[in-house]
Amino acid sequence: MLTEEIARQIVKETMTRLNRNINIMDDKGTIIASGDESRLNHIHAAARQVIETGHAMIVQSDDIGRFQGALPGINLPIEFDGRIVGVIGITGEPEEIREIGELVKMSTEMMLRQAVMQERTEWKQHAREVIFNELINGEFDLGAAERRLQILGTYLKGPYQVAVAEVNLEKTSRTELLQHLEMNFSKAEAIFGFISVQRIFILGMHMPEDGFRRKLQKIMRDENGGSAILKIGHGSIAADEQQIRYTYEEALCALKLGSEADLVSYAEIEVKALLNRLNDRARRQFADRVLNGLSAKLVETVEIFLRENLNIGKCAETMFVHRNSLNYRLKKVRELTGYDPRVFHDALTLQLAIWAQRLNGLD
């Protein structure tokens, strides 16, 4: 409960405000933190008496001989959840520090409570991340995972979906980002955490696919935290726990292969994902054969033409070129490649070739 790390932090912060030496003793009376490091690990007899009686104790100059390890000052019990977990000692003339003793005790107990709550929060978050890693690695005991989640106040219930988000921690902290997610997902709807320094996972549970996507759209729109989320990829529905790893892999793929959109589903890039499974040599041979050395300008023209659903007018407007100029470029593509972008089958082949070329650039 009262660890050495917490005690050191309390001593540091309290001494900064009081400009006096502070000692923290554990529930056995051993000094575990002090402004005077030579006193560490020594028994403090006055602190032991405080623990036994539950009352504050003042040590006068005349009492030093009676209390091993004590100096003049005041010693007060540190209470947490109705029990004494340690003692805080303020070194100095008792008459000078008597009035501030209770304030120091109150401040110490408040800092202890905050530290313990933070530790518990971090432990719970770590537990969620461990459980998720076990699920995506396929090395998990479902019963054990569910028991641990029950301690956290949640449970596994399908269907499932996984989203992976790239985040910018220069705009927010880890804690603030997780709090932002907690505001948008209940414990029954999702568990989430970090899978790397710049990526978080969101495991959606017992939600329709469109409902999960709407939640993701909302967290990106919200100013509080959403600005730190750069891009999200999400997988398709997983019926049971065994399939969670597959929707996670789809989410990673959507994040990698999605182009301009901030929120990308696996369904949107599934064809690209199939191309991605080909080896680098196969993709390069296909792209080189179909595109036949097309210039970057002509490749861009084909991409925009396809994005505008083969509509000459819209494409010309988007590119700020005359229709005749656009038609000239499209004819040039047909002459160089043998594929006419204005014909659906040829357009599809050209699109696949461009995607293959782009994927090689990602490898």
pLDDT per residue as tens digits for the range 235-276 = 999 999 889 999 999 999 999 888 767 899 999 999 988 888
| Sign of the Cα pseudo-torsion (258, 261, 266, 269, in order) | negative
Q: Could you tell me the pTM of the whole model?
A: 0.67
Residue 273 to residues 109, 268, 270, 307, Cα–Cα distance (Å): 55, 10, 5, 18
Could you give the CA distance from residue 238 to residue 264 in angstroms, rounded to a whole number? 17
Starting at the earlier edge strand, list the strands of the sheet with 190-196. 190-196, 199-205, 160-167, 229-234, 263-265
Amino acid present at 326:
L
pLDDT given at position 69 = 65
Confidence band, pLDDT 50/70/90 cuts, at residue 226: low
Domain 278-362, CATH: 1.10.10.2840
CATH superfamily of 157-270: Reverse transcriptase/Diguanylate cyclase domain (3.30.70.270)
Give, as one character, the DSSP assignment of residue 44: -
Task: Cite the residue boundaries of each domain of the chain with CATH code 3.30.450.20.
Answer: 4-110
Could you give the CA distance from residue 116 to residue 251 in angstroms, rounded to a whole number? 35
The arrangement of secondary structure in 4-110, i.e. its CATH architecture, is 2-Layer Sandwich (3.30)
pLDDT given at position 223 = 56
Question: What number is the average pLDDT over the span 211-234?
Answer: 83
Give, as one character, the DSSP assignment of residue 305: H
Q: What are phi and psi of 354, to 5 degrees?
A: -65, -45
**Residue for token digits 């494409």?**
315
Could you give the CA distance from residue 67 to residue 245 in angstroms, rounded to a whole number? 62
pLDDT per residue as tens digits for the range 62-81 = 777 777 667 788 999 999 88
Could you give the CA distance from residue 70 to residue 230 in angstroms, rounded to a whole number? 57
Task: Cite the residue boundaries of each domain of the chain with CATH code 1.10.10.2840.
Answer: 278-362
Cβ neighbours of 53 (radius 10 Å)? 11
pLDDT per residue as tens digits for the range 290-321 = 999 999 999 999 999 999 999 999 999 999 99
Torsion of CA 299, 303, 306, 308, to 10 degrees: -130
